[in-house]
Structure 1
Amino acid sequence: MGGLNLEVFKFGMYVMFPIGIMYYFGTNLDNRFAVPDFWPKPEQANKVPLERDEIHAELERLRARRLFVRDRRLAEEARQQQLQAQAQAQDQNDSQS
């Protein structure tokens, strides 16, 4: 079918294509594929408490935050129930009139 030149070309492609891919992806990786500032700096990252006092302080902070969110949620639920009760009372007044 093909001549000698075709076979030489195919052999060259078979050999050079993987080498070219490895060269492209293997050189200058830091500048080509790195995302700048991807990892947070140590001062921005969460610090795991190691000492007993730090652990207790962190637990207190988490407990206070959880209670704050709970109180806010309960207040919102109470407000929603109050609005529903007012809407039902308004509907009853409208139906009686």
Structure 2
Amino acid sequence: ETCLAVPPGDAGALAAALSRLLADPALRARLGRAGRERVLDRFTWARAAQGTVAHYREAIARSAGPRRAEAPSPGRSAAPASVAGVSSESRATC
């Protein structure tokens, strides 16, 4: 338990929940600890990165499909650009 939930628009329930919190320091401390643990567990840089990677992969998968070849612009090669220090295997997994 990380909160005292009240129905939206129910001022009486909100007042009762606040009164309960004001009267019970142990409840405030327990809810505070549980909330902190939940945030530290769920909102990490690793989880944010995993979510970002998942969204990019989903977007790439949706956009994948047959593409028509475009003629190179004047002065540009039709060959794909290479990136120094990055192998083709690395680019395929990004």
Give the alignment's TM-score, normalised by structure 2. 0.32
Look at both structures and tell me which one has the larger radius of gyration over its CA atoms.
1
Q: Which has the higher contact order (CA 8 A, sep 6+)?
A: 2
